[in-house]
Structures are given as C-alpha cells and as structure tokens.
Structure 1
Amino acid sequence: MAWNEAENARQRARREERIRKEEAEQKRQKLEAAESKARIMEAFLKEKEKEVLQLQEEAKTFITPQNLEARIEECLDNPRNYNFAIDKDGRIVKRTVLS
C-alpha cells in the first residue's frame, strides 16, 4: 500500500509539472501572438498614415470653388494639345498627315 501511495505521489508530481509546462507554453504562445498582432497593427497604421499624408499632398491640387476661377484662367493661358502620335521607335510625332 505504501508503494502505491508513493507511486501516486510521483505520478501527481509529474502531472503537475507537465501542467505547469503546458501553462507556461500557452502563456508564451499568447504573448507571441499578441506581439505579432501588435506588429501587424503598427505596420497597418504606418501604411494608413502614409496614405493619409499622400492624400493630403494630392488634395493641394484639387479644384475647389475658391480656386476655380484661377484654375480656369490657368488652363486658358496654357492650352495643351493631346493630338499627337507615337511612332514605332517611341518618338512623339506632333504633326499628323491632316494638319
């Protein structure tokens, strides 16, 4: 009977040690997952911040009711002709056969 109690105590100690190791491993995995999620979120936020800065930079050239007259004047003062051709060598040909 004493041997059985000693064996039970030994097995209980092994089981408790195994459970402690499993809990420590689970805590470590949860910590790694949280750190990974934090890194991903940080990268996502940096990317979105970069997009916002880019949009703010692009917004400077938007046509608004306040600058509409100035933009119209600018376009009238600087006309652009998009009627051109590109030959096989990649050169821009401004004059076409009809003009």
Structure 2
Amino acid sequence: MGAGTRRPTPSARSWSPVGAAAGPTSPFPSPTNSSAQHSRPPHQPAIITTTTVLLTRAEFRAEVLQKKREALVSREDSVALTEEHRRLMAWNEEENARQRARREERLRKEEEERKRQKLQVAENKARVMEAFLKEKEKEVLQLQEEAKTFITPENLDARIEECLDNPRNYNFAIDKDGRIVKRTVLS
C-alpha cells in the first residue's frame, strides 16, 4: 500500500446511505443496498488543481459582480422609491389639508346651526313669555275693574246704604236649565 491510499475500515465497507439513516444494514439484499455501494468508501479526498482554483475564482468574481449590480439596481430602486415616497407624502399632505378644510367647514356649519337653534329657542321662550305677560296684564286690568266694586273702609258706609236701599233675595230654586222656579218673599 502506498502512502496516500487508505484502507477501508470494516464499518466503511458496510456503509450505505439508507443504512446510515435507518440503522444497521440488513443481511438481505435490497434495491437500495447494492454490492457496488458496499465496496465504495464514504468519501474520496478532493483533488485540487489549478483549473479548479481558477474556476472557483471566476465563480466568486461573478458572484461579486452580480452583488454589485444588485446593489446598484437597489440604489436606483431606492432613489425611485424615495421619490415615490416623497410624491405620496405630498399627496397625503394635500389630502389631509383638504379633509381638514372640509372638517372645519362642517364644524363651522354645525356651530352656526347650534346658534340658530339657540336663537330659535330663545325667540320661542320670548313669545311664550310675552303671551304670558299679556294674559297676566289682562287679568290685572280685569281685577282693577272688579276692584271698583269692592268694599273698602272708605266706601263702607255708602255701600251699606246702597244695600239697604236695594234689597236682594238670593233664596230661590232653579231647574236644570238654570231658570228660577221658586223664590221666597223678602221679609
């Protein structure tokens, strides 16, 4: 045996992808447990060549260039997104100003309506109060008219003389229609 070769160990001879995951290998043949897989070692050492290194470097360069392109595109997208954001924010500010103006107009109209209703209520109260005062004034005038016939200490003697001169009989009976049916004679 040479210096670079390794002899397979007994466990390496029985290695299989199915057996490694499922546990010990079965002594019975199966379609996934072929004899070719039993004799293969689990891994082979990688042989690194100049070509492999050059190909790997080229692949890494391509990845770096791709990332730079993506960064540039994302920056362009970022500028476009920033401009779109500014445009949308300006539109939002305009919309907010329009809505604020509508809200202020609505609130102003509601305030005017409240004032109008208060004024209407005050006018109604004033009308009711005026009608009440007119009624009371009428009552006062009626009482003043009736007061002329009231007996007071000043006109007591005159009223007594008048009653004696004009006797009245309040002793009578009336029917359902309010007519005097029977009256007693004054004595």
Aligned-residue sequence identity (percent) comes to: 82
C-alpha distance in structure 1 between counterparts of 2:137 and 2:176, whole Å: 43
Instruction: Report Cα offsets for 1:24-68 as digits up to 9, x if no partner.
Output: 101111111111111111111111110110110010000011111
Q: 1:2 aligns with which of 71, 90, 95?
A: 90
Q: Quick one: which amino acid aligns to residue 96 of structure 2?
A: N
C-alpha distance in structure 2 between counterparts of 1:57 and 1:91, whole Å: 29
Instruction: Tell me the residue number matched to 1:59.
Output: 147
Q: Quick one: which amino acid aligns to residue 124 of structure 2?
A: S
Shift of 1:88: 6.1
Aligned residues: 96
Q: 1:41 aligns with which of 114, 125, 129?
A: 129
Instruction: Tell me the residue number matched to 2:9.
Output: none
8 Å Cα contact 1:87-1:93 kept in structure 2 = no
How do residues 1-99 of structure 1 correspond to structure 2 at under 5 angstroms? 1-87=89-175, 90-94=179-183
Taking only aligned residues, the RMSD between alpha carbons, in angstroms, comes to: 1.9
Structure 1 length normalisation: TM-score? 0.85
Shift of 1:95: 5.3
Gaps of 5+ in 2: 1-88
Gaps of 5+ in 1: none
Shift of 1:9: 0.8
